[in-house]
Amino acid sequence: MANDQHVEKLCEGIRNWNEWREQNPEIKPDLSGLDLTQRKIRDAISTNSHGAYYQVVEIKLSDTNLKNAVLKSVFFESSDLRGADLSGAQAQDCRFESCLLGEPESAIDERMREVNNLTRTDETFYRSRACTMNQTRIFGASFNKSSLCYVDLTTVFVDEKTSLEQVGVINTKISRSVIEQLRDYGGLTIGRLRRMIHVDDVADLRRSFSGFWNQLHFVALVVFFAPYLWFIANQWLLARVGDETPDKDASSPILINLIRFIVSGGDTWREWSPSFIPILLFVVALVFNVLRACLLAKTLDVEHYRSVHGHYPDFTLTGKWFILHQGYKWLGAIALLVLVVHTFLFLLKRVPLA
């Protein structure tokens, strides 16, 4: 919910609001969930009306919390929204004319010419000054001569009327699905598209789990589970051909035997000699292969969708899929390291020369 004091200050008009922002730079206004189309607020900050729009000129909304705010049909002109959080905001049919949602493109270009390449400090600064647009609705919104440098547009909601003509897009992130929903790339030229960072999570997923890799992952899953399935089959066979009423002191359930086999790491399972290393390796390998199986199944689902509908679904490696993908990569690195160590120890084993 919006801070009542901040809302009251906004209702005093743009001039008083901007002066208050300049005098209190440490304050980050909270206007979350606020409806800027309310008559009281509209009359306070609007200079004039442009048909269905009402114009807001040179307002300082930098570093302002505008989560879930309603900005429908607002015409922002020469306004500063750097560092503002528009996550979940409704900005349908808004117009952003000569606004800053990121650092000016000219300033970044000048800095790049000065140091030949942006430093890590520069990158951090420009990202921190970018407006946050996570699941922001910008249906029919128009960004004209505005800066979107370093803004993340991978999760915004757009339509064919969303326009990005003449905008600053240095290192602006945009996803394949967002581009596909724009008409003629939203007015972006090929040159400006090349200055953006393109995110295609479907391609990333298919790159690791499709085609040849699909078969390789399947074989790896079979190889991992085969010893345990074989052990269970062997134990089941012994149970079937053995005595119908075996001696309890000289036998144990298949489940207990499987646990012994896992914690002992091999053939010594009858002696019940659990070891920390085999248990740790099994847990890591099991989690890794479960994650691998989930991602493999998702890839098959994406490709099936493509074969049925003729295009890939809107899929992003966010939320649970981000966790699964990151876990798979980290555990994969650990599994590779274990494999290298085991191979090295194997090569160090001594064998008789005769």
Q: Which two tokens stand for residue 62?
A: 């930098």
pLDDT reading at 1 higher than 60: yes
Percent of the chain with pLDDT over 90: 58
pLDDT at 101: 96
145: amino acid identity, one letter: K
pLDDT at 68: 95
Three-state DSSP class for 57? strand
Phi and psi, residue 51, nearest 5°: 65, -115
Mean pLDDT of 236-247: 69
pLDDT tens readout for residues 252-289: 888 888 888 888 776 667 777 777 777 888 888 899 99
The sign of the dihedral angle between the CA atoms of 42, 47, 48, 49 is negative
Q: Give me the CATH topology for the region 4-199.
A: Pectate Lyase C-like (2.160.20)
pLDDT at 248: 59
Task: Mention every residue, 6+ apart, whose C-beta is less than 8 A from residue 87.
Answer: 67, 68, 132, 133, 134, 135, 136
Neighbours of 85 (CB within 10 A): 23
Percent of the chain with pLDDT over 70: 94
pLDDT at 198: 94
pLDDT reading at 251 higher than 80: no
Q: Which two tokens stand for residue 332?
A: 């994969």
Euclidean distance between CA atoms 345 and 351, whole angstroms: 13
What is the DSSP-derived secondary structure letter of residue 183?
G
pLDDT at 246: 58
Three-state DSSP class for 318? coil
pLDDT at 264: 78
pLDDT tens readout for residues 11-34: 999 999 999 999 999 999 999 999
pLDDT tens readout for residues 291-307: 999 999 999 999 999 99
Euclidean distance between CA atoms 33 and 40, whole angstroms: 16
Q: Length of the chain in residues, anyone? A: 354
- In whole angstroms, how far apart are CA 88 and each of 152, 157, 253, 317? 13, 10, 55, 19
Phi and psi, residue 90, nearest 5°: -100, 105
Q: Yes or no: say if 92 and 74 are a contact pair by the CB < 8 Å rule.
A: no
Euclidean distance between CA atoms 349 and 354, whole angstroms: 15
Euclidean distance between CA atoms 138 and 76, whole angstroms: 14
Q: How confident is the model at residue 38 (pLDDT cuts 50, 70, 90)?
A: confident
Instruction: State the span(s) of the chain assigned CATH 2.160.20.
Output: 4-199
**CB burial of residue 167 (10 Å; 0-12, 13-18, 19+):** buried
pLDDT at 249: 61
88: amino acid identity, one letter: G
Phi and psi, residue 80, nearest 5°: -110, 110
pLDDT reading at 250 higher than 70: no
193: amino acid identity, one letter: L
**CB burial of residue 221 (10 Å; 0-12, 13-18, 19+):** middle
pLDDT at 289: 92
Q: Yes or no: say if 75 and 95 are a contact pair by the CB < 8 Å rule.
A: yes
Phi and psi, residue 142, nearest 5°: -125, 125
pLDDT tens readout for residues 122-175: 999 999 999 999 999 999 999 999 999 999 999 999 999 999 999 999 999 999
Euclidean distance between CA atoms 223 and 289, whole angstroms: 11
pLDDT reading at 242 higher than 70: no
Three-state DSSP class for 270? helix
Q: Which two tokens stand for residue 341?
A: 């160590």
Does residue 61 or residue 348 have the better pLDDT?
Answer: 61
pLDDT at 244: 58
Q: Which of 272, 243, 277 is nearest to 256 (CA)?
A: 272
Q: Which of 154, 160, 104, 163 is nearest to 132 (CA)?
A: 154
Summary mean pLDDT of the chain: 88
pLDDT tens readout for residues 85-100: 999 999 999 999 999 9
Mean pLDDT of 161-190: 93
pLDDT at 236: 86
